[in-house]
Structure 1
Amino acid sequence: MKCQKVNFVLTDKESIGIINLCTVLNIPIFIGNPRQGKAKGFIDQFDTDIIFSINYIYIVEQDIIKYPKSYAINFHGSLLPKYRGRSPHVWAIINNEKTTGISAHLITEECDAGCLIYQEIIPIPEDITGAEILTEFKKQYPIVISIVIDMIQKDTINPVKQDNSKATWFGKRTPADGIINWNWQKEQLRNWIRAQTKLYPGAFTFYNHQKITIYRIEYCDYGFNQFDENGIILDIRDGVIVKTPNGAIRILDYDSDIPIEFKKGGMFHG
């Protein structure tokens, strides 16, 4: 792959690492929302062949899509057409998927719907967390970008239309979305918790009106009565053990704003 010149970067104000790197490398940078033509005057200064969108938080509109001479390409963190939208790797873990990936696709005005150029499959191991798989994505993105650049240089791009009948879409997650429902089965609870563990705000519940953020659990074979309420604490002698509809779980890692004294028979509430 030949060395390429980066003419400019568009990013958001929270991406301090990108902003600092552009400053060091003397790369022109636009910071903020580019929509409704806000970035047009900036990008009009440059003669550009290709635009890449990589984990860009803003929807790219037509004035940017049509700007490059050759391609406007987005790199999305799922195997499209599955998991269009926001936080696809988190949703994939929540939904117990066994694989995810990176899709390079042409940018269209419809979010994540453009023709596919290249896809890289990334396995989702049984115990991996949302933060850990994000680290794997960071390793894979430069590789996938290099592959796509090489395809462009060799003129081997062959866009393939997405099958919209198989498309799924998931929305933006907020910290409030992390609340735990103790009526879920233990497998769903585990996926919910590991998908949102440290680095993210976390899955949470309440005990005596105090918020508890839970980062890691494991299944255990502690006995229970079917008719006990889900979320009841079964034992505290070997960790906090909690009943779910189809088995008990042990809380391995949690946090709270104040010290909590758990008691057998106490209840967690969503």
Structure 2
Amino acid sequence: MLEVVFLGSGGLGLDVLKQVWSSYRVKAVLTDKKSVSIISFCNEHQIPCFAGNPRGNKTADFVKDIRCDILLSVNYLFVIEKDLIDLPALFAINIHGSLLPKYRGRTPHVWAIINGETVTGVTVHLIDELVDNGKILKQREVSISPDDTGATILEKFSYLYPSMVQEVLTEIAQEKVTLVEQDNAKATYFGKRTPEDGKIEWSWFKERIRNWIRAQAAPYPGAFAFYEGHKVSIHKATFSDMGFAQDIADGTILATDQQTLHVKTPNGVLQLSDIKAENPITFRINGLLK
């Protein structure tokens, strides 16, 4: 039976941990302090668990006597340093939410929607000391529909992650692994996003603004703008056929019933809804979102 050290965070991390625990021997788990469900699962099943940032050799004592075949990372929040990469006897493996080598880096599914992609995917690959650079063990495509959000793409991923990990571990156990080099000439990289990065620029075309909004829609913090000094987050946008005058400033509110806003962009009108404000706001026709 393969012996696994698991690195993971969040709901997807827990789903895969449960899958791996049901079929293999989980020797230890590394997670973050906010992944309470993973910590609780480890406590319940008496799995040694380290919760926190491992940088600076903080896990040295924790892992020094651990022997494993596989190190498996799923949505792990921290950089995996060389001492952990070198821990397993066979492979150090990560599961990544894009079709590598495209969209290396953080929150790739969000960036894919922002960039108007119609297809993304999931890649299981080896970990090396470069970001999302290792040889590929398995890939699956995932479609991005016009109404998908960052959250709905993660839901699609949630069905793939456990099954793909199970397939890869089975192939490793049966010594039927196929490794494919990534084509670095086709690689793209996108960095970490924070809620502060979500500000809408009304000079963008309507298609980009709509993608920007749906990529970050609830339960994410949301794309945002400012109205009369108040921050408003916007979680849904659809195209409108409302007419407008070209000399009106981009971001101008053309119509509102307070629940929805029709807003001018350089190439058309967007109907905005699911709007949340920090304080009560009354929107006005000809008011300006900035």
TM over 0.5: yes
1:244 aligns with 265
Aligned to 2:161: 141
Match of 1:213 in 2: 233
Residue aligning to 2:171:
151
1:123-163 CA distance string (max 9 Å, x none)? 11110111111111122110110110111012111211111
Distance, in Å, in 1 between the alignment partners of 2:75 and 2:234 is 27
User: Structure 1 segments of 4 or more deviating over 3 A?
Assistant: none
Q: 2:145 aligns with which of 125, 136, 147?
A: 125
Match of 2:247 in 1: 227
Q: Distance in 2 between matches of 1:244 and 1:65?
A: 48
Mapped partners of 2:279, 2:67: distance in 1: 56
TM-score by length of 1: 0.96
Secondary structure, counterpart of 1:218 in structure 2: strand
User: Identity over the aligned pairs, expressed in percent?
Assistant: 47
Deviations 1:209-241 (A, max 9, x none): 111100101111111011211000111258321
CA RMSD, Structure 1 to Structure 2 (Å): 1.4
| 1:36-95 alpha-carbon deviations (Å, 9 max, x no partner) | 321122112222111101111111111111111111111111110011110101001101
Alignment of 1:43-54 (within 5 A): 43-54=63-74
**Alignment partners' CA distance in 1, 2:116 and 2:42:** 38
2:41 counterpart letter in structure 1? L
2:288 match = 267
State the match for 2:185 in structure 1. 165
SS of residue in 2 equivalent to 1:211: strand
Structure 2 alignment gaps of length 5 or more:
3-22
**How many residues of Structure 1 are paired with residues of Structure 2 in the alignment?**
269
Pick one of 26, 33, 38 that aligns with 1:18: 38
- Aligned-partner residue type, residue 189 of structure 1: I
Moved more, 225-234 or 29-38: 29-38
Q: Distance in 1 between matches of 2:24 and 2:33?
A: 25
**Is 1:113 the equivalent of 2:133?**
yes
Q: Give matches, 1:181-192, under 5 Å.
A: 181-192=201-212
CA distance in 2, matches of 1:55, 1:258: 34
Rounded Cα–Cα distance in structure 1 between residues aligned with 2:59 and 2:97: 25
The equivalent residue for 2:113 is 93
TM-score normalised according to structure 2 size: 0.90
Counterparts of 1:239 and 1:165 in 2: how far apart (Å)?
44
